[in-house]
Structure 1
Amino acid sequence: MYPKELCIDEPTIDAAWVGLLLSDAAYIHAMAYSAEAYHDKKMCRQPSAQTQKHLLEALRLLQSRLSKPNSSSATSDPTIMTIVMLALAADVLEDWGTLESHLEGLKVMVNLRGGLPSLKTTANEIAFKICRGDLSHALRNNGRPIYFRDDISWEPYITGSGHTSLARFEDDKELSRMIQSLDTRLYNVWTDLREFCQMTNLGCQTGLKLPHGTFNEILLSVSYRLSHLSFDRSPASEAFRVGMLAFATSIFFSWPELRAINVSVNRAFQDALWKLRSSGDQLNPLLAFWVLMVWKVQIHKEAPEKLFADWFGEVKLSIPIVAWAEARAVMKRVLWIDILYDQQGKAEFDKSV
């Protein structure tokens, strides 16, 4: 579930998870169920008897543990990891009701354990996987995630947490002023996402790609902050927010089986663009060009080709932009990952020439 173009090709092996496969019966059945159910879906068939057997056994073992709330096993790593596995399976299988039930159960367990930071024990990916499921559910329903509603930090994540960037570029002061004028919190998220883009672009050129943990931390931070923001009274700020969310989602939730997330985000993206277009609010032409290009790249197979075409033409003329090289330079000033978007970006831009 990590884009090979951006991340190190490292085996996602966590000793704690592998150990559970060999020692925890509930987790073994949950893993077997996930694999069997995914295979059934790919083969376009109903869940097999073997699939159902693994699910029922995983649920039976879980129920046995949860029926003893005072027991340490009720909120242990193995129990939480088993529910995480079932939640991820429900997400891929598009069983939204089951996914929501698992997420609510996980929330209770996480609170009993003392919060997400307490889960970074022997299995470092537990918290990341819980957050991925939480974001997946929120994005699909165009709602707010469960976690970080009241205690989220709006400060820049990469520079603020001491991460060392692979890239150092001069600040684009003109662009920074444009985005700061929309909202300081939005600006801070943009600085992190821009830093991420610069890191990945340089990494693709030099072979210094991102470790899975760094990829998770940055995109979770970006996605949570964007999901918790909303600008009902500023269509320009909202269009830029949802544009960045669509951009981040296309990277973080790029697995084909999670396509429903991108469809939902793109629907919200279209609504935000309509509201901006029909309002008296104005987005700087450079930012408007970026937003509309991201829209074209994101939905090129789903929306009418001429949707927002007149608007796009007006923005191009006002900058002005004539050739793809000029368009690409603008995109890279804002947010762009060459290896992921150059080909489709050029194709979409050329259609408008």
Structure 2
Amino acid sequence: MSHASTTRWKRRKDATQLHSWIDPGRSLGFEDQKQKVTDYPTVSVPGLVGGNFSATQLPPGIEPSVIEDLVQLINFDQIGMYPYDICLQTHPVHRGWFPYMIGDICCIHSMMFSVRAFVDGHSSDGECSRLAAFHFHRTIQILQARVNAFERGHSESVFRDSTIMVIITLVQAAELTGDFKAAQNHVDGLLRIVKLKGGLRAMNTHNNLQVKICRADLGLALHLGTRPRLFQEDIQWDCFIWGRGLVHCDHGHHANLTRPFVDQLEWRLNNCWKDIHAFSCLSNLAYQTTRKLSPETYNEMMVSILYRLTQLSFADDLLQETIRVGLLVYCTTIFLTRSFLEQNYGHLFELFKTGLFELCHSPATIVPHPVMLWLLLLYHVTVYKGPSVNSRASDWLDRAVSLTGVNTWAQAHPVLRSILWVDFVHDSAGKEAFLAATQRLKMYRIDDSTLTFSTHPAQSSQTDYHPPAQSTPI
């Protein structure tokens, strides 16, 4: 009995122990398990004489006031990248970009370029401001000097972590300004350095350097509609967080309406759905309680989900491809959308719109009504940020609301939560679109026989869809 109890206790303990998806040999939440490798100076906190950084040793020509402005920017950018409704806060001086920036003049210039390009904007002819151009040219000059030194056999400077951070900054700035050709060139250079240094898993895990590289790779791929370059081989398809005991959600009878449909999805897509559902429930719990996620754990969840979804493809299967793209669109609302920018992934959204409306008109594919309601509300949340001005989109949403049999937001909300829904992200726009649909339904009488997304009637709790035994990604 003692041996059996010990075995059960170990099994429960292992279930909640989360290992890195990027580097499975590393446990999350225990930074001292792996020796940290740093190539930046230790920053001592001086006494407050003058500014906060007036006694800090800085590269020549850089004033403390510049560093103070950049620290505020770093903190602002972190707020955009990490939803602190569910994540623990980290001080920008202790983690993130600051340690690299403080000891590398190239990193400072790259961040100043990013700041000026964002704040100053572009002229009518597409040119950035003079100050942004100055910092950009200084960044490129220093980077080129390091590349030239590398070609002469001096690899130390080009292999610094701070150099990698400079390139990541340039990638982000190019994406924010819509210069995807420049972003692609920067990502090409970034991944060449990563390969020469021994691959992604050889990167320093402190300050989430691995994740920053993955973000650059993923962000560009989603903008261009291509596959990301990393994890094209040796990818883990099993569930990463679902079934780990991190959260226990109970959606009652609502879950029974969609479970048969989800279980019939292709197994890798099914695992992605389960992980996203677990993350959504975990986010709602963190928002309501003090059980926050560490930024490192949040990042690993993001990377594990997005890489699997972007490496999948179901070109010959309308339903599964629409679900895959819909899950990607949903994930961008949580992981990749900065709260202070109206930035979206136009190519991805266009794929979602095309697939969704083909699905609505498909006579051969039957989708449970709650899932159809979720898909159409997600479309309104991401494209319109509320009610649609498109009559066709409104008509399909009205049909979904009527077929699902929910008359109020209080009835619709638990249905959406049982599928995929994060309250503080989706409630505002979702509720607005739903209430607009219920108001339209009150204005005209609808024949239930015409309210179908297929020529074959189906109960909302069932699906006649049978996925193919095997699919080949493109």
TM-score of the superposed pair, with normalisation by structure 1: 0.90
Q: Which of 303, 326, 333 is matched with 1:220 structurally?
A: 303
Secondary structure (helix, strand or coil) at the match of 1:275 reads helix
Residue 446 of structure 2 corresponds to none
Structure 1: runs of 5 or more not aligned = none
Larger radius of gyration: 2
1:299-322 superposed Cα distances (whole Å, 9 cap, x missing partner): 225963323333333333333222
**When you count helix as a share of all residues, which structure comes out higher?**
1
Residue 96 of structure 1 corresponds to 180
In structure 2, C-alpha distance between the alignment counterparts of 1:257 and 1:104, rounded to whole Å: 28
Q: Give the C-alpha shift of residue 228 in structure 1.
A: 1.5
Q: How does 1:228-267 map to 2 (within 5 A)?
A: 228-255=311-338, 259-267=342-350
Which amino acid is the alignment partner of residue 51 of structure 1?
A: A
Which amino acid is the alignment partner of residue 228 of structure 1?
A: Q
Contact in 1 for aligned 2:95/2:207 (Cα 8 Å): no
Between 111-120 and 66-75, report the one with greater CA deviation: 66-75
In structure 1, C-alpha distance between the alignment counterparts of 2:119 and 2:398, rounded to whole Å: 46
Q: 1:101 to 1:14 in 2, by over 3 A?
A: farther
Residue 329 of structure 1 corresponds to 414
Q: Give the C-alpha shift of residue 100 in structure 1.
A: 0.6
Q: 1:274 to 1:63 in 2, by over 3 A?
A: same
Q: Give the C-alpha shift of residue 269 in structure 1.
A: 1.0
Between 181-190 and 317-326, report the one with greater CA deviation: 317-326
1:35-66 superposed Cα distances (whole Å, 9 cap, x missing partner): 22222118999533332222112111111111
Q: How does 1:75-114 map to 2 (within 5 A)?
A: 75-114=159-198
In structure 2, C-alpha distance between the alignment counterparts of 1:331 and 1:13, rounded to whole Å: 39
Q: Give the C-alpha shift of residue 325 in structure 1.
A: 1.8
Q: Which of 106, 113, 117 is matched with 1:37 structurally?
A: 117
Q: 1:203 to 1:238 in 2, by over 3 A?
A: same
Residue 392 of structure 2 corresponds to 307
Contact in 2 for aligned 1:236/1:282 (Cα 8 Å): no
1:7-38 superposed Cα distances (whole Å, 9 cap, x missing partner): 23332445584333232222122122222222
Percent identity, aligned pairs only, is: 31
In structure 2, C-alpha distance between the alignment counterparts of 1:6 and 1:264, rounded to whole Å: 29
Q: 1:95 to 1:256 in 2, by over 3 A?
A: farther
Which amino acid is the alignment partner of residue 144 of structure 2?
A: Q
Contact in 1 for aligned 2:381/2:429 (Cα 8 Å): yes
Contact in 2 for aligned 1:7/1:210 (Cα 8 Å): yes
Which amino acid is the alignment partner of residue 334 of structure 1?
A: I
Contact in 2 for aligned 1:140/1:260 (Cα 8 Å): no
How many residues align structurally? 349
Structure 2: runs of 5 or more not aligned = 1-80, 439-474
Q: 1:55 to 1:236 in 2, by over 3 A?
A: same
1:73-98 superposed Cα distances (whole Å, 9 cap, x missing partner): 22221221211121112122222111
Which amino acid is the alignment partner of residue 183 of structure 2?
A: L
In structure 1, C-alpha distance between the alignment counterparts of 2:344 and 2:296, rounded to whole Å: 22
Verify: 1:125 aligned to 2:208, yes or no.
yes
In structure 1, C-alpha distance between the alignment counterparts of 2:421 and 2:139, rounded to whole Å: 43
Contact in 2 for aligned 1:91/1:133 (Cα 8 Å): no
Between 134-143 and 307-316, report the one with greater CA deviation: 307-316
Which amino acid is the alignment partner of residue 34 of structure 1?
A: S
Verify: 1:49 aligned to 2:120, yes or no.
no
Q: How does 1:131-150 map to 2 (within 5 A)?
A: 131-150=214-233
